[in-house]
Amino acid sequence: MRKYIVILFCMSVLLVCAQEPATPTLEANDLDYFDPTRVEEPKEPYVFSVDYRVEAGYVQNDHLSDNKTYENTYMHGFRAGATVDFHLPSHFSLQTGLLYTFTYGTAQQNWAYMSYEDYVSPDPVSGMVHSGYINHRLFEHQLTIPVRAYYTIPLWRQLNLFFYTGPQLQIGLALKDDMQADLSTATKQWFATVGQPYEPYDRYSQNELYRTTFQWGLGGGLEWDCYRLQAGYDFGLNNQVKRRLTQDQKMWEWHWFVSLAYRF
């Protein structure tokens, strides 16, 4: 009888032990995870903000043509204005503003003889065939409205690397062509027939070129605290020639720039 009582007692003890939950074993690296006093830091919510900047720098306007009725002209000058940045999540931002540009350039345009007399009657002084030429001195004033998408990469402390892309609208205010012409009588008569000036005039006011130019830009630079150094290139998307002397006459305006901006 005692034998059975001992066996029942042992089985009862084993059953009670089996029902007790096992105590988890914590590794040293898991102590933080199971720390009951730990409080998760909330993520910083997105806060909309706006930055205002002024910028100024060097710009080169390239008037590129595929027809010799316009010479390729590279104009140099400066650009200055104000911009506003709208900050978006994930290091993105949008920028727009208003910039003023002034550029100056020169080009020489040679004209072949326009009549048989030009060819058979050489210049009495030089003894050479009078083909004719026009020296162009161009002064251009423009307004630019950019719409750029920026992406910023933090590098170290207040030093950031950024890239941008986006369209811009360029509005021509004036493009004065201060010409000095040496042309034959036949060439001047042909100019008068097609309505092409050969004396100083404004290419915009004479409806020779469209005032608006659409461009697409790419660029980037570095930012330190309130200062931003950037460079970029803008590609002209539309033909600027409004009044054509020839059927295939085209001209695009591309430009590149380097500027320094300051954030208030």
Rounded to whole angstroms, the Cα distance separating 24 from 22 reads 6
Q: Per-block average pLDDT, block size 10, for the chain (264 residues)?
A: 56 54 53 58 73 97 78 92 95 96 89 57 54 86 97 94 97 92 79 81 90 96 96 94 78 94 96
pLDDT at 113: 60
Q: What is the pLDDT of residue 231?
A: 97
Instruction: Pick the closest to residue 114 from 50, 38, 183 (CA basis).
Output: 183
What is the C-alpha to C-alpha distance for residues 13 and 24, in angstroms, rounded to an integer? 22
Selection from 255, 256, 199 nearest residue 64 by Cα: 255
pLDDT of residue 35: 58
Closest alpha carbon to 181 in 160, 199, 166: 199
Q: 85: Cβ–Cβ under 8 A, 6 or more apart, which residues?
A: 50, 51, 52, 53, 93, 94, 95, 150
**In the chain, at which residue ranges do the beta strands (DSSP E only) sit?**
50-65, 73-87, 92-110, 133-156, 159-177, 180-182, 201-202, 212-224, 227-236, 251-263
What CA–CA distance (Å, rounded) separates 243 from 248?
Answer: 11
CATH class of 50-263: mainly beta
Q: Please state the pTM of the whole predicted model.
A: 0.73
Longest dimension (CA), the chain: 151
Spatial neighbors of 193 by CB under 8 A, at least 6 apart, are none
Cα separation of 118 and 124, whole Å?
12
CB atoms within 10 A of CB 43: 6
CA 112, 117, 123: angle at the middle one, nearest 5? 75
pLDDT at 142: 97
